[in-house]
């Protein structure tokens, strides 16, 4: 045995210096490494949705021990419309969750400016949503903190969000994972600079966003204003039905139902949606006033007369004839006709939108545009609500709180039934709109 070993040693020592031997040896080593690594490499050959799924699984690992209360994430002022701000806020919360940090309560924007960032009117988060209620409902999942909780405001490290085509979702995730480790993890505050959170890459499934949205409860002042508007709509509906009764005014055993239509025909929307149709080559985005009225009037099973609340941004509306042309039995109301304009005038744009959102959310039937973030988040919450009630089929005719997309033709010549795909791996369809409404 010893003699055999010596022969092998002499063979290798004799041929080791040979160039040919070296090449053969390297080839053998390469083949062995390829055989070992092949199963690992194929694990990365996933399409986009599967990559996101793997990411979402990875993101939860750092949060299994709970959210730290002495380490914070700070984000830029959150801007744009109400529901873009809600998505941006949720994305910031989930980023803080990945970093195992508490999100410092961000500043929202009360006004609506798309380009004049210096003109944005800031408003504190707790002026719109209940701070303590949020932390109570989201305990163990995400956490909000106040700047008074910070012990050393100079102990800050900045995280510059990348931009451009080269800044992929994988690179963004790699950066976040890097900042979850030392030495970055030692700083008390990680301050994200450079981007509004709405524009950050999305690493989280719809169900995670839905969890954050469930924790957002309007402050009492705004909620009570929404109560007043809903009450006005139901009273109007009751009066309509009383007038059509053959005998004495009816006494409804339950609140009179109403339909809410998020009527996107404002001038800014029509410019945006037409450009979007051209870029995406999708024709089912814009809807005229006539098309909306026709499709809402074709929804089966509506009891006449029914009050229809039109949620529309009045200051941006160029068409003043939105109350005309509705099918008999559907009686439209906007803020002026309903007598609630004074309620809205007391508040900035963000609060007005929050009231309208709540009014649409509570409607017995909701009809919106699937490319609108406002409509999409309402449908998400309504879908989540029905899931909690045990509903398994959302596309049938006899479900409670049905939702429809008027920009997509359904049966019979009405709007398409709409629900949110709660198993989706990202919020992309909701953030930027889609004609896939799952029904």
pLDDT above 50 for 21: no
321-346: pLDDT as tens digits: 889 999 999 999 999 999 999 999 99
What's the whole-number mean pLDDT along residues 281-292?
93
Are 86 and 213 spatial neighbours (Cβ–Cβ below 8 Å)? yes
What CATH class is the domain 53-214? alpha beta
> For residue 134, is it left (φ>0), alpha (ψ between -120 and 50) or beta?
alpha
Q: pLDDT (tens digit, 9 = 90+) per residue, 290-325? A: 999 999 999 988 888 999 999 987 665 556 688 999
- Rounded alpha-carbon distances, angstroms, from residue 414 to 330, 376, 393: 14, 19, 20
Q: What is the pLDDT of residue 61?
A: 43
Q: What percent of the chain shows pLDDT beyond 90?
A: 64
Structure tokens at 156: 């800050």
Average of per-residue pLDDT values in the chain:
84
Question: Quick one: pLDDT at residue 12?
Answer: 42
Distance, in Å, from the CA atom of 28 to the CA atom of 398, rounded to the nearest integer, reads: 67
Query: Do residues 334 and 323 make contact, with C-beta atoms less than 8 angstroms apart?
Result: yes
Model confidence over 389-399: pLDDT tens digits?
888 776 766 77
Global pTM reads: 0.82
Q: What is the mean pLDDT of residues 128-153?
A: 96
For the cut 50, the answer to whether the pLDDT of residue 47 exceeds it is no
Check pLDDT > 50 for residue 217: yes
Q: With bands split at pLDDT 50, 70 and 90, how would you rate the model's confidence at 4?
A: very low
Alpha-helix residue ranges (DSSP H) falling in 60-100: 82-98
Whole-Å CA distances, 171 to 62, 165, 200:
18, 11, 12
Give tens-digit pLDDT for 85-108.
Answer: 999 999 999 999 999 999 999 999
In whole angstroms, give the CA distance from residue 127 to residue 181. Answer: 34
> How far from 174 is each of 55, 117, 206, 271, 405, CA to CA, in Å?
10, 29, 21, 37, 37
Q: Provide the token pair at 291.
A: 């098309």
Q: Residue 144 — pLDDT band, cuts 50, 70, 90?
A: very high
- At 166-205, the pLDDT tens digits run 999 999 999 999 999 999 999 999 999 988 999 999 999 9
Would you give the end-to-end CA distance of the chain in angstroms? 75
Residue 24 has pLDDT above 90, yes or no: no
> 156 forms bridges with which residues in the sheet?
189
Instruction: Give bridge partners of residue 189 from the DSSP assignment.
Output: 72, 156
Domain map of the chain by residue range? 53-214, 220-432
pLDDT at position 253: 55
Confidence of residue 219 (pLDDT cuts 50, 70, 90): very high
Strands 403-409 and 415-417 turn out to be antiparallel
The model's confidence at residue 148, banded by pLDDT at 50, 70 and 90, is very high
What is the band of 58 on the pLDDT scale with cuts at 50, 70, 90? very low
Residue 29 structure tokens:
């080593």
Write b or e for each residue in 185-201: b if 16 or more Cβ atoms lie within 10 A of its Cβ, otherwise e.
Answer: bebbbbbbeebbbbebb
Q: Is the pLDDT of residue 78 over 90?
A: yes
Residue 302's pLDDT is what?
84
Own/partner long-range contacts of 113-121 (Cβ < 8 Å, ≥24 apart):
113/79, 114/80, 117/79, 120/77, 120/79, 121/348
Does residue 35 register a pLDDT over 60? no
Task: Pick 242 or 252 by higher pLDDT.
Answer: 242
16 falls in which pLDDT band (50, 70, 90)? very low
Tell me what percent of the residues of the chain surpass a pLDDT of 70.
79
Is pLDDT larger for residue 137 or for residue 47?
137
55 vs 272, residue with greater confidence: 272
């Amino acid at each position: 045995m010893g003699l055999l070993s010596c022969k092998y040693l002499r063979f290798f020592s004799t041929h080791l210096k040979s160039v040919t031997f070296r090449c053969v040896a390297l080839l053998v080593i390469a083949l062995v490494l390829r055989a070992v690594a092949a199963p690992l490499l194929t694990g990365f050959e996933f399409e986009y949705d599967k990559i996101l799924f793997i990411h979402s699984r990875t993101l939860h690992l750092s949060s299994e021990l709970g959210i730290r209360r002495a380490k914070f994430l700070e984000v830029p002022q959150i801007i744009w419309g109400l529901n873009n701000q809600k998505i941006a806020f949720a994305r910031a919360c989930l980023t803080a969750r990945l970093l195992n940090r508490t999100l410092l309560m961000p500043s929202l924007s009360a006004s609506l400016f798309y380009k004049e960032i210096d003109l944005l009117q800031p408003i504190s988060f707790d002026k719109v949503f209940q701070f303590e209620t949020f932390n109570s409902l989201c305990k163990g999942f995400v956490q909000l903190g106040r700047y008074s909780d910070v012990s050393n405001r100079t102990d800050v490290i900045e995280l510059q969000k990348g931009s451009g085509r080269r800044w992929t979702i994988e690179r963004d995730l790699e950066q976040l994972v890097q900042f979850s480790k030392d030495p970055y993890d030692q700083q008390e505050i990680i301050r994200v600079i450079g981007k509004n959170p709405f524009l950050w890459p999305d690493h989280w499934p719809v169900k995670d966003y839905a969890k954050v949205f469930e924790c957002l409860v309007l402050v009492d002042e705004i909620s009570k204003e929404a109560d007043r508007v809903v009450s006005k709509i139901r009273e109007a509906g009751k009066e309509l039905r009383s007038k059509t009764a053959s005998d004495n005014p009816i006494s409804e055993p339950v609140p009179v139902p109403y339909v809410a239509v998020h009527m996107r025909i404002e001038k800014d929307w029509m410019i945006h949606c037409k450009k979007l149709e051209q870029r995406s080559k999708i024709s089912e985005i814009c809807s005229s006033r006539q098309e909306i009225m026709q499709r809402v009037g074709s929804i089966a099973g509506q009891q006449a007369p029914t009050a229809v609340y039109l949620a529309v941004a009045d200051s941006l509306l160029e068409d003043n004839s939105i109350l005309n042309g509705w099918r008999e039995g559907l009686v439209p109301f906007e803020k002026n006709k309903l007598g609630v304009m004074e309620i809205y005038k007391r508040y900035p744009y963000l609060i007005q939108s929050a009231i309208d959102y709540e009014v649409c959310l509570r409607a017995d039937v909701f009809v919106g545009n699937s490319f609108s973030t406002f409509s999409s988040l309402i449908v998400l919450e309504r879908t989540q609500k029905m899931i909690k009630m045990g509903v398994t089929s959302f596309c049938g005719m006899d479900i409670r709180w049905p939702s429809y997309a008027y920009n997509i033709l359904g049966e019979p010549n009405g709007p398409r039934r709409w629900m949110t795909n709660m198993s989706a791996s990202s919020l992309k369809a909701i953030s930027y709109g889609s004609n896939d409404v799952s029904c």
